[in-house]
Amino acid sequence: MIRLVLGGAGSGKSAYALELFLEGPGPNLFVATGKPGDLDFRAQILDHRMARPPETPVLEVDLDLAGPLSRTRAASVLVDSLDFWLFNRMGRDSGADPRELAKELARGLAGFAGRELVIVSSEISLGPIAIDPRVRRFVRALGGLHQETARICDEVVLVAAGCPLYLKRG
């Protein structure tokens, strides 16, 4: 089953996704896309690390998420987070086509039939339209990536105030 867990900053999405992940069969794999750029983000990553069982294998990815997903044989995989992967991709290649990135990710997800995959991402499109054109482009790209990913997923959950709201059930 492929699940997409969305939510805002501090919504509880990562904690909820971790619960789903730990319910899945082993062997499992945590796929991290975030790189600490400042002390605050380092602390957030450390908090997430401390919440996971210490024996959970971690794979840190940068630009290539689809490749490692297509190659892993883990029975349960947690990806945290899709938004940071997109941010990395668009940050390194300002001309990246978000539709092509969504297709690339879809190819990586194709092999997950019969296994558990939980994908976390920040839902950032609920606020006002950003004044900066780069931020608008990112928000629109992430919204499109979420829509494409949701089409593939069996379940889509929006977490608000720690409460999971099911948008799609498989």
- Residues with a known catalytic role: 48
Residue with tokens 């899945």: 24
Do 151 and 109 form a contact (C-beta atoms < 8 A)? no
Q: Characterize the bridge pairing of strands 76-80 and 163-168.
A: unpaired
What are the structure tokens assigned to 115, written together?
A: 């296994």
C-alpha pair distances (Å), 150 with each of 26, 46, 127, 145, 166: 24, 29, 20, 8, 12
The secondary structure of 31-98 as a DSSP string is: EE-----SHHHHHHHHHHHHHS-TT--EEE-SS-SHHHHHH---SEEEEE-HHHHHHHHHHH-TT--H
